[in-house]
Structure 1
Amino acid sequence: MLSKYPDAPVLIMGDFNSCKLDCVLPSFEQYVDVPTRREKVLDLCYGNINNAYTARVQPPIGAADHNIVFLLPQYKQLLKRDKPATYSITQWSEDATA
C-alpha cells in the first residue's frame, strides 16, 4: 500500500496481545497509550502520520472485556483554532448622508 500510494494515510489496528509492530514498521506511530483491557494496552492502532490522533477510552459494551477506543484527530480547523474577529460598523442615518 505504501509503495503504491505513498501519500495516503494507512492505519493498522487490532487486538495485538503481546505482538508489537514497532520493529516491523519503524516509521509508523502507535497512537493508543491508554489501557484497553484491565491495566494492559492490547488494542493498538499504528499509523503513518505522526501526532495525528489521541486515544481516549470508554468502558466496554455489554459483556466485552476490552474498553472502547476513540481516536480523536489532533488537527483542528483554522476556524476552530482562532477566536472570531469582531468588527464595528457605523451606520449613517439618512439625514447624515444627505
Structure 2
Amino acid sequence: MEAVQKPDMKLLHTGGTLKTLQVIAKAGMIMPPHHTTKEAVLVVQEGMALLNMPTTEHLLKAGMTFTISAKVEHSLKIKKDFKAVVIMALDAAIQF
C-alpha cells in the first residue's frame, strides 16, 4: 500500500559551502511535493524511484545522479527501497 510521507533524512556532513544529506525511503512510499531553495544533486545509492517533475518523469536507479533546479516542485514515488545522498549549498533547504 502506498503512503504519502516524508522520508528519513539525516545530515551527513557540512563543509565550507556544501552539505550532504542521507535520504532513505521504503518501497511504496510517495514523498509529498517539495522543492529545494537552491539547486541540488541527488546521488542514488540503492533502490529505484520515479521522480515526478512539473512536465516530466524520470526513473532513478542505483548509480544514477540527477540535478534538481532550485524551486522546482517535485515528488518521488519509491518503487524499491531507496537510499540516496543529496548534495546542496550549506544555506539551502528542502521545503515540503
Shorter-chain TM-score: which interval?
A: under 0.3
Q: Which has the higher strand share?
A: 2
TM-score under structure 2 length normalisation? 0.28
Q: TM-score, length-normalised on structure 1?
A: 0.27
Q: Which has the higher contact order (CA 8 A, sep 6+)?
A: 2
The structure that has the greater radius of gyration is: 1
